[in-house]
Structure 1
Amino acid sequence: MPSVTEEKSFDVEKKSYSVKGDIETSTEEDTDEIVVLQNERDIATHVISVDDDPSLNPWTFRAFFIGLGLSAFGGSLAQIYYFKPQTVSVSPMFLGIISYVIGLAMETFIPRYGLLRYLNPGPFNKKENAFIIIMASAAASSALGIEVLAVQRLYYNITPNPGSSIFLLFSSQLLGYGIGGLMRGVLLYPSKMLYPGVLPLLSMLDAFYRDGIETRRKLKVFYFVFAGILIWELFPEWIFPLLTGFSIFCLAAPNNATVSRLFGGSNGNEGLGLFSLCFDWQYISGGTNPMSIPLKAQLSSFIGYIICMVVFVAVYYNNIWKSQNFPFLAQLLFYENGTVYNQTLIMNSNYEVDPALIAEQGLPYYAGTWIINLLSTNLGLAASFTHLLLWNKDDISGAWTWINKETLRGWRANFDWKFWKHDGKREVPANTEDIDPHYREMLKYPDAPNSWYLLTFVLSFIVGLVVIYKTDSTLPWWGFCLAVFMAVVSVLFVIALYAITGTGLSIRNEETLVQMVAGYMHNGRPMANMFFVLYSYNTVNQAMLLLRDLKIAQYAKLPPRAAFTAQIIGTLLGAVLNYVIMNSIIDNEREILLSIHGTNIWSGQQPQSYNSQAIAWGGLAHELFSSGQRYQWVPLSYLVGLVAPLPFWIIHQYWPRLRMDYYYTPIICGYIGWLCVGINSSILSFFMVSFISQWWLRTRFPHWFVKYNYLVAAALDGGTQVMVFILSFAVQGAAGPAHLIPAWWGANQSGYYDRCLSF
């Protein structure tokens, strides 16, 4: 976003700082305080250390040993979370804490002689830790290819060949790595590309490895918060689950359906969670830590959240799209009478939709709130393109500066097919003042050259082409190529917005556009739709994960080749483990995964959503979404989204003091459908924490904010995920039968935990 010319005043004696016309103003008069951090470069250079010690070696056997172990752990945990009622990612902070503890233990207790010196080559260092985090975090995500395989097992009774399944995962996971790596000059190196979500992790690593009294004080704060949240999570997660969503309205009117829809939210697909208070950090910080997202993005999210509740209530209670025939929140397809739609009855033996069978069964319906989600995702994604072209055109244009005769001629002249012999040396510009300070420190290390990422892309592309035919995906080769092309274009825009704001909403929004395009191109082929989405949307998501991890490496000064190696190993190992765990959970929890609401422990909401989208778009796009049809405004909303940022931009050109540059229209639009799924009782608590952190603390106590905000965020995430992992296997059924706390007033095991009416 462009910065407006502002009048600044700085009183040296009182150390007070103000910005006229801005809502962010420091009134602190403590002489120890520092100025308020205003932009990405300020944050990146004040919150985390720019210093580097080139003597630190990440290439140790110990780093590989711990990295592989935590990759196995993280990949398994991520797949467990995929089948939870609320999507919770395996945080890099969590992996960072575990790796630090293990590394420190190996340094302390393993002797340094004989073969044991490989397990303990000396003090466990920051770069080893960063190497392990990147390897484990690359493994610690549920591959979207697993979603395709899960849908095939749950809804089509197809169990694909294990070999084809594994190569499907490999190609779909690495394709985005190649594209993202080739665009790192624009999406990684500049200071503007902050990646706010990784700041708590780097703040934590600085506290672990820097010396001095101040560092020891920070570590005490970290350990205290970590231990406190570790113990506390026993209560909302097991002993006292009412704390997941405490609603006075639900307690006052436990048998009122409207109250449940509006104020309930402690269970999946229950309600909007209006005025509910959540005391479970797992859900408050389930997507992104609220203490790390910049205030601008938080404010736009909050506006979208308010609009979302108004729109959802209006659609349902005005019975738009016959919404009252169906559950208030649901991701499945339904018959008009509200029963679940049997998709197998409209498909022939080739898994293609048969028009004659559709005539017998009738067209399916969506829940009205899910249609709003589809509308908002199109609005948000389209707005991302226009918003970035208007506000960040200089940043975006940098991605295409290489398209000129001189550059292309130089590439051809210097091309060497022996890519493995590339020394990776980079020319250091004469003037480095404008270069990001962290990137400037990285220039001393050999780069992982573009040829490595290009080879990753080419191999993944070829394997993907083979897999779509070996798995009978019904997706033709030209459809696969178009999917990859759409991913290449989308990566630049949606990841730029993610890197600046810290919210990945636009990346998720891209999925609906991809499904829409695939539906019209491959009408009647739900399976082809799923594979098209896999190789387009998932490619964008994987590019984002690669660039996020490379930003961790840049901040931690981990050499680029070490980061590349860690990412590839972690991704391949994680894909295999995802596949094994997915099969195990489906074998044991199949009936729960097929139900609408699931339980508070297991839920099939994600494969349900993916499957219903594939049926609706892949099989019935023309019948449901074309002009004049029931849901015609879903594709038309994309056109509306393209013009949505224009009023904000025009107003700012004429009346800059209104600060229209403060709002991210893609986030506002995308959040209009935010509450369509999951546990919504945490949303109000999320915004309370975020505004306290990013406004009150940052502007009123900037010194405390710089020293402790991201460190406390890391401790809260780390302690929570350690306890959630323990409880998942000990009492919540991840390793066998569940052992829930006996029912009492604070643990309503026969219904919703907040005691609202169960549907």
Structure 2
Amino acid sequence: MSLTKSAFSDRFTDVHTRIMKRNYETIPQWWFHVLLVLMFGLAIFACEGFNKQLQLPYWGVLLAGAVALLYTLPVGIIQATTNQQVGLNVITELVIGYIYPGKPLANVSFKTYGYISMSQAITFIQDFKLGHYMKIPPKSMFLVQLVGTVIASSVYFSTAWWLLDTVSNICDPSKLPEGSPWTCPGDDVFYNASIIWGVVAPLRMFGRLGLYSKLNYFFLVGFLSPIPVWTLSRVFPGQRWIKLINMPIILGATSMMPPAKAVNYLMWGLVGVFFNIYVFRKYKAWWGRNNYVLSAGLDAGVAFMGIVIYFALQDKNIYGAEWWGLETDHCPLAKCPTAPGVHVEGCPAI
């Protein structure tokens, strides 16, 4: 609560703020207001126009904006203190799936306006924070962000349009040549989400018509989970480490799990848990000062090896490298139907 109150306070007197206020003009608030109204207008026009192909009505855009506005501050506080962002993708899909079922495009549109708007807002603030420390004029930061966004979105849209128009059978691996890179894994994720949350809808999965209604109790578990930590911190005030337990991060970190098969989580857990415990116990003093440096080094190492592997193997059409720990799921029937009376070759009949 104190962090929330301080976010609305204008009493920042650190040296960076004093220097910025003395040397540069602040951004007029009406710049943000005009941009907000303009973007909302364009979003509503995109959804209501073009024969309503996006299926999302104007009230859906307004509701998505309200969701983004509601969650930007708490999620921003969590990211500012832990460097981890809690995603709203499932929440937004769940909300519009209950309110407006049977509309797959409306579901992913609401997810984009609700979740991505919040994520981009925090990224926008993060860039401004960097500019604040680097003593870059705020107005210049605003204009650069605006121009960069327009250029980037135009390039993304043009590239996607060009690929869809020129590459035949794009995103259909069964019709593409062997080894073709145009399999669109990210689009598959969005498509699956639109079917699960939009067409099937949460009511038939987590509501009275579904089999997984008991999972709704985890909303209550997540809501109450910080209370035991707060209670223990009051009962044992001398144990400062208790206050460092962050339940939103512990629960939200599951979204950071690698999108791999079940067998790969063993190595992920071994490296992520035991390696960090070993480093902490052996280099405890160093750890407190350089844990973010270590995290950035591991991320950079993975990115660097990804580039090396691409140019050394994939660019030469070498796709058969077998890595230890990357075996199959050992679930040959995982793609078989589970509904009675549906017969598929190679699958058992139920």
8 Å Cα contact 2:4/2:73 also seen in 1: yes
Alignment partners' CA distance in 1, 2:305 and 2:255: 31
Q: TM-score, normalised by structure 1?
A: 0.37
1:660 pairs, out of 229, 237, 242, with 242
Per-residue CA deviation, residues 253-308 of structure 1 (Å, 9 max, x unaligned), is xxxxxxxxxxxxxxxxxxxxxxxxxxxxxxxxxxxxxxxxxxxxxxxxxxxxxxxx
SS of 1:656 mapped into structure 2: coil
Q: Which residues in structure 2 correspond to 1:178-327 (within 5 Å)?
A: none
Q: 2:226 corresponds to which residue?
A: 645
SS of 1:678 mapped into structure 2: coil
Alignment partners' CA distance in 2, 1:616 and 1:603: 20
* Change over 3 Å in CA distance of 1:666–1:602 after alignment to 2: farther
Alignment partners' CA distance in 2, 1:676 and 1:716: 15
Q: Quick one: which amino acid aligns to residue 82 of structure 2?
A: T
Q: Quick one: which amino acid aligns to residue 520 of structure 1?
A: Y
Residue correspondences, number:
317
CA drift at 1:470: 2.3
Q: 2:34 corresponds to which residue?
A: 455
CA drift at 1:670: 2.1
Percent identity among equivalent residues? 23
Per-residue CA deviation, residues 94-141 of structure 1 (Å, 9 max, x unaligned), is xxxxxxxxxxxxxxxxxxxxxxxxxxxxxxxxxxxxxxxxxxxxxxxx
8 Å Cα contact 2:171/2:183 also seen in 1: no
Alignment partners' CA distance in 2, 1:581 and 1:726: 25
CA drift at 1:671: 3.2
8 Å Cα contact 1:593/1:603 also seen in 2: no
Alignment partners' CA distance in 1, 2:280 and 2:3: 25
Alignment partners' CA distance in 2, 1:448 and 1:714: 32
Pair 1:592-2:161 in alignment: no
Q: Quick one: which amino acid aligns to residue 259 of structure 2?
A: V
Which sections of structure 1, spanning at least 5 residues, go unmatched?
1-392, 403-428, 733-737
CA drift at 1:686: 4.4
SS of 1:572 mapped into structure 2: helix
* Change over 3 Å in CA distance of 1:601–1:552 after alignment to 2: farther
* Change over 3 Å in CA distance of 1:570–1:667 after alignment to 2: same
Q: 1:395 corresponds to which residue?
A: 3
Q: 1:739 corresponds to which residue?
A: 316
8 Å Cα contact 1:445/1:559 also seen in 2: yes
Q: 2:187 corresponds to which residue?
A: 607
Pair 1:467-2:53 in alignment: no
8 Å Cα contact 2:128/2:141 also seen in 1: yes
Alignment partners' CA distance in 2, 1:601 and 1:637: 39
8 Å Cα contact 1:592/1:599 also seen in 2: no
8 Å Cα contact 1:594/1:608 also seen in 2: no
Q: 1:670 corresponds to which residue?
A: 252
Q: Quick one: which amino acid aligns to residue 211 of structure 2?
A: R
* Change over 3 Å in CA distance of 1:670–1:717 after alignment to 2: closer
Q: 1:626 corresponds to which residue?
A: 207
Moved more, 664-673 or 476-485: 664-673
Q: Quick one: which amino acid aligns to residue 638 of structure 1?
A: F
* Change over 3 Å in CA distance of 1:720–1:628 after alignment to 2: closer
CA drift at 1:447: 1.8
Pair 1:524-2:102 in alignment: yes
Per-residue CA deviation, residues 37-58 of structure 1 (Å, 9 max, x unaligned), is xxxxxxxxxxxxxxxxxxxxxx
Q: Quick one: which amino acid aligns to residue 396 of structure 1?
A: T
* Change over 3 Å in CA distance of 1:714–1:513 after alignment to 2: closer
Q: Quick one: which amino acid aligns to residue 108 of structure 2?
A: M
Pair 1:699-2:285 in alignment: yes
Q: 1:331 corresponds to which residue?
A: none
Pair 1:558-2:136 in alignment: yes
8 Å Cα contact 1:516/1:635 also seen in 2: no
Q: 1:685 corresponds to which residue?
A: 271
* Change over 3 Å in CA distance of 1:641–1:602 after alignment to 2: farther
Alignment partners' CA distance in 1, 2:78 and 2:301: 29
Per-residue CA deviation, residues 705-759 of structure 1 (Å, 9 max, x unaligned), is 49xx73x776776676567557657863xxxxx423485xxx23xxx66462465
* Change over 3 Å in CA distance of 1:689–1:445 after alignment to 2: farther
Per-residue CA deviation, residues 534-585 of structure 1 (Å, 9 max, x unaligned), is 1111111101110111121122222212221221122121112222444566
* Change over 3 Å in CA distance of 1:574–1:727 after alignment to 2: farther
CA drift at 1:489: 0.6
8 Å Cα contact 1:594/1:604 also seen in 2: no
Which sections of structure 2, spanning at least 5 residues, go unmatched?
333-350
Q: Which residues in structure 2 correspond to 1:279-428 (within 5 Å)?
A: 393-399=1-7
Q: Quick one: which amino acid aligns to residue 243 of structure 2?
A: D
8 Å Cα contact 2:27/2:139 also seen in 1: yes
Pair 1:574-2:152 in alignment: yes
Rg larger for? 1
Alignment partners' CA distance in 1, 2:93 and 2:260: 22
* Change over 3 Å in CA distance of 1:550–1:460 after alignment to 2: same
CA drift at 1:488: 0.4
Per-residue CA deviation, residues 307-348 of structure 1 (Å, 9 max, x unaligned), is xxxxxxxxxxxxxxxxxxxxxxxxxxxxxxxxxxxxxxxxxx
Per-residue CA deviation, residues 386-424 of structure 1 (Å, 9 max, x unaligned), is xxxxxxx1111244569xxxxxxxxxxxxxxxxxxxxxx
Alignment partners' CA distance in 2, 1:714 and 1:670: 20
Alignment partners' CA distance in 2, 1:720 and 1:673: 19
Q: Which has the higher contact order (CA 8 A, sep 6+)?
A: 1
Q: Quick one: which amino acid aligns to residue 669 of structure 1?
A: L
Q: Quick one: which amino acid aligns to residue 494 of structure 1?
A: V
* Change over 3 Å in CA distance of 1:577–1:499 after alignment to 2: same
Q: TM-score, normalised by structure 2?
A: 0.76
Alignment partners' CA distance in 1, 2:182 and 2:272: 23
Q: Quick one: which amino acid aligns to residue 91 of structure 2?
A: L
Alignment partners' CA distance in 1, 2:139 and 2:154: 23
Alignment partners' CA distance in 2, 1:723 and 1:670: 27
Alignment partners' CA distance in 2, 1:600 and 1:686: 33
Alignment partners' CA distance in 1, 2:299 and 2:104: 38
Alignment partners' CA distance in 2, 1:558 and 1:594: 51
Q: Quick one: which amino acid aligns to residue 316 of structure 2?
A: H
Pair 1:549-2:131 in alignment: no
* Change over 3 Å in CA distance of 1:688–1:740 after alignment to 2: farther
CA drift at 1:495: 1.3
Pair 1:492-2:73 in alignment: yes
Alignment partners' CA distance in 1, 2:326 and 2:110: 42
Alignment partners' CA distance in 1, 2:234 and 2:55: 50
Alignment partners' CA distance in 2, 1:570 and 1:467: 21
SS of 1:591 mapped into structure 2: coil
Q: Which residues in structure 2 correspond to 1:59-78 (within 5 Å)?
A: none
Per-residue CA deviation, residues 353-379 of structure 1 (Å, 9 max, x unaligned), is xxxxxxxxxxxxxxxxxxxxxxxxxxx
* Change over 3 Å in CA distance of 1:757–1:728 after alignment to 2: closer
Per-residue CA deviation, residues 674-717 of structure 1 (Å, 9 max, x unaligned), is 547237545543456655777755614778x49xx73x776776
CA drift at 1:438: 2.9
